[in-house]
């Protein structure tokens, strides 16, 4: 470990999801809008430029919604301002980037989809700065969950809060 190792005493990782379909909001989805306090963390210094931190979340469900609570049938999910990292074993891995004056902060998130309580394989397509995930079949109940711990890459000398928004919309296709 490098003696320049940074101990972060407080981070806020904010994941806010908005499920909107062409201006018509879903009626009653359950959305994880909790701030997540990372507390004091240690990480590995990479190339004397970045610190790599792995964070396991206690609540991994991002979205839980019943089709009957929605105003329209959802056939896809659109994840805005994200880059598709890879499709792997029916799950997708995305990267969200926040530029700072010290360098970019990147968070890698692996997502999986459950329809009616069963895991379903999904793939994502990069379309500009958004990722489109096709929902493979009709459902009564849908959940979008984080699969693995978050992988956070922070510039070595960055100080301050981390606030990220994971912006997800439901669509007809």
Asked whether the predicted pLDDT for residue 17 surpasses 70, the reply is no
**Total count of domains within the chain:** 1
Can you give the pLDDT at residue 164? 75
Reduce the DSSP state of residue 164 to 3 states and report it: coil
Residue 22 in any domain: the answer is: yes
> Range with the lowest mean pLDDT among 92-106, 108-122, 140-154, 158-172?
158-172
Residue 6 within a domain: no
Residue 33's pLDDT band, with cuts at 50, 70 and 90, is low
What pLDDT sits at residue 14?
Answer: 26
Q: Is residue 2 part of a domain?
A: no
The band of 71, judged by pLDDT with boundaries at 50, 70 and 90, is confident
Instruction: Tell me whether residue 7 is in a domain.
Output: no
* Residue 86 maps to a domain: yes
Kindly tell me if the per-residue pLDDT of 15 is higher than 50.
no
**Range from 24-28, 48-52, 85-89 carrying the lowest mean pLDDT:** 24-28
% residues pLDDT > 70 (the chain): 75
Tell whether the torsion through CA atoms of 117, 134, 111 and 58 is positive or negative. negative
User: Which whole number is the average pLDDT over 162-170?
Assistant: 79
Rounded Cα gap, residues 52 and 40, in angstroms? 14
Residue 63: pLDDT over 50 = yes
pLDDT of residue 59: 80
pLDDT, the chain, mean: 76
Residue 35 pLDDT? 59
Picking from 66, 86, 71, 96, the residue whose alpha carbon sits closest to that of residue 163 is 96
Count other Cβ atoms within 10 Å, centred on residue 150.
20
Cα distance between residue 133 and residue 115, in whole Å? 14
By residue range, what is the domain housing residue 16? 12-171
For residue 146, is pLDDT > 80? yes
At 34 the pLDDT is 54
């Amino acid at each position: 470990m490098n003696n320049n190792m940074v101990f972060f005493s407080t981070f806020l990782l904010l994941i806010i999801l908005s499920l909107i379909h062409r201006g018509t909001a879903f009626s009653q989805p359950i959305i994880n809008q909790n701030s997540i306090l990372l507390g004091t963390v240690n990480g590995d210094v990479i190339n004397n430029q970045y610190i790599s931190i792995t964070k396991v979340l206690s609540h991994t469900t991002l979205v839980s919604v019943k089709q009957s609570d929605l105003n329209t049938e959802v056939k896809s999910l659109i994840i805005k301002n994200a880059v598709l990292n890879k499709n792997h074993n029916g799950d997708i891995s995305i990267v969200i980037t926040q530029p700072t004056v010290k360098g970019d902060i990147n968070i890698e998130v692996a997502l999986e989809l459950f329809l009616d309580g069963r895991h379903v394989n999904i793939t994502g397509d990069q379309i500009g700065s958004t990722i489109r995930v096709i929902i493979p079949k009709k459902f009564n109940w849908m959940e979008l969950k984080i699969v693995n711990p978050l992988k956070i890459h922070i510039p070595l000398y960055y100080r301050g809060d981390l606030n990220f928004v994971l912006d997800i919309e439901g669509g007809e296709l």
